[in-house]
Amino acid sequence: MTVVIDAGHGGKDPGNLGTGRYKTAEKDITLAVAHKTAAYIEERVPGVRIVMTRTGDTYPTLPERVRMANESQADLLLSIHCDSFEKSSAVGSSTFVMGLGKSDASLRVASKENATIFQENSDETRGFDPNDPDTFIALALKQEIYLERSLQLADLIQTQFRERVGRKDRGVRQAGYYVTAYANMPSVLVELGFLTNPKEEDFLRSEKGQDYMASALFRAFRSYAETWLSLESAVEAPPSAAPTPETAAADTGAIDEPTPEETVVETPAWFSTLENTCSDGVCFTVQAASSRRGGPLVDDEGHEVPFSQSTLSGGVHKYRVGSSPSYAVACQMRDTLRLKGFPDAFVVAFDDGSRIPLEQAIKKQRN
């Protein structure tokens, strides 16, 4: 597996300057977090090849960054940035995938990150007009084949930022970025936080803050990789900001059966919020965890989770929980599972037993 990590801006392009209290700019923070993320992956997931679009204070143009990713035949592109806003109260982390984002926030961020195109004046960027809707319609259609995986990774990243690092979750959004538009692979662009917010700028400038954000990106990548690929080696996670450990089912497999001396605890009440009501047509279910050791899916108190089933793919047991013809109900089950010890849970879709992209399933239901 090849992963391209793109530290935004660099060299002559400092990115945003934050509050102006420090000499460091966006380009410095994105590079530091990119290096830390790459180190976590290289140390803990043997066999993954990392390609950095820059390793120092240089400025690869946007076409050069995309070319590096495409020519390396990468399986994933992770572009790292920091946000800014005219009001210092703006705070939080967000993750973007390629799409026709029409919200003010999506248009603002896309416009900011694409701004360097006007300074490059190269043949490769002349066909890209950030203000032309027709440009994005064609590019969004091109990226649809990667959209499911991009959305899944983006959702995992936001979950880690929110639940492990305690950042305000500004959500997963779609917007028209050059780097994600022309990449021939699943790709996301991450805004770590607002450098124009003094408190958030201090956090992102700190060694601790950069460690936590890089660890969150690594953990999201790990969950993504375990879903889609067969990893040959066990994965060890770096320390997280939050004290809650990952569940035994996700990392260490089954918990031993209770001995006769142990007290049997009543079935948790939250199990009643799960349902298994769909078998034909479009069905939504929740992938709750993955494990190399197998065994039943259990919560952190040792109770076997109802409506759970596992499949073995490439040596990894993937656990799905429940089913519903309603995407909204599946999302509620996902949120419950995340709160109850399965922080990396996400919704997947099936049509008559065959897995299909989530976006396709939602559109099919609407139609």
Confidence of residue 205 (pLDDT cuts 50, 70, 90): very high
Q: Check if the beta carbon of residue 82 is closer than 8 Å to that of residue 204.
A: yes
Percent residues over pLDDT 90 in the chain? 45
Check whether 228 has a pLDDT greater than 80: no
Query: Where do the structural domains in the chain lie, given as residue ranges?
Result: 2-228, 254-366
pLDDT, tens only, 69-125:
999 999 999 999 999 999 999 999 999 998 765 445 444 444 555 555 555 555 554
- Residue 236 to residue 311: CA distance in whole angstroms: 22
What superfamily would CATH give domain 2-228?
A: Zn-dependent exopeptidases (3.40.630.40)
Q: How confident is the model at residue 335 (pLDDT cuts 50, 70, 90)?
A: confident
Q: Is the model's pLDDT at 243 over the cut of 60?
A: no
Measured CA to CA, the distance from residue 78 to residue 95 in angstroms comes to 10
Bridge partners of 4, per DSSP, are 51, 77
pLDDT of residue 231: 39
pLDDT of residue 45: 85
Checking if the pLDDT of 207 tops 50, the result is yes
3-class SS of residue 275: coil
The pair phi, psi for residue 220, each rounded to 5°, is -65, -45
Q: What is the pLDDT of residue 26?
A: 96
What's residue 113's pLDDT?
53
Mean pLDDT of 237-260: 39
Q: Read off the tokens for 202.
A: 């201090």
User: Mean pLDDT over all residues of the chain?
Assistant: 81
Query: What is the pLDDT averaged over residues 240-244?
Result: 46
Long-range contact set of residues 52-57: C-beta below 8 Å, sequence gap at least 24? 52/4, 52/5, 52/6, 52/7, 53/4, 53/5, 53/6, 53/7, 54/6, 54/7, 54/10, 56/10, 56/31, 57/10, 57/11, 57/27, 57/28, 57/31
Q: For residue range 280-334, what is the model confidence (pLDDT) as tens digits? A: 899 999 998 887 777 889 887 788 899 999 888 767 788 999 999 988 888 889 8
pLDDT at 176: 72
CATH topology match: 2-228 vs 254-366:
no
CA 275, CA 325: separation in Å to the nearest integer? 11
The matching CATH number, chosen from 3.30.70.1070, 3.30.930.10, 1.10.760.10, 2.60.40.1120, for 254-366 is: 3.30.70.1070
Per-residue pLDDT at 336 exceeds 80: yes
pLDDT per residue as tens digits for the range 258-280 = 333 444 446 788 888 899 999 88
Instruction: Judge whether residue 192 has pLDDT over 60.
Output: yes
Given a contact cutoff of 8 angstroms between Cβ atoms, the answer to whether 195 and 19 are in contact is yes
Name the residue with higher pLDDT: 233 or 300.
300
CA distance 241 to 261: 36
Q: Can you give the pLDDT at residue 178?
A: 77
pLDDT band at 46 (very low <50, low <70, confident <90, very high): confident
pTM: 0.61
Percent of the chain with pLDDT over 70: 77
Predicted pLDDT of residue 183:
86
Over its C-alpha atoms, the chain yields an Rg (Å, rounded) of: 21
The reported pLDDT for the residue numbered 80 is 97
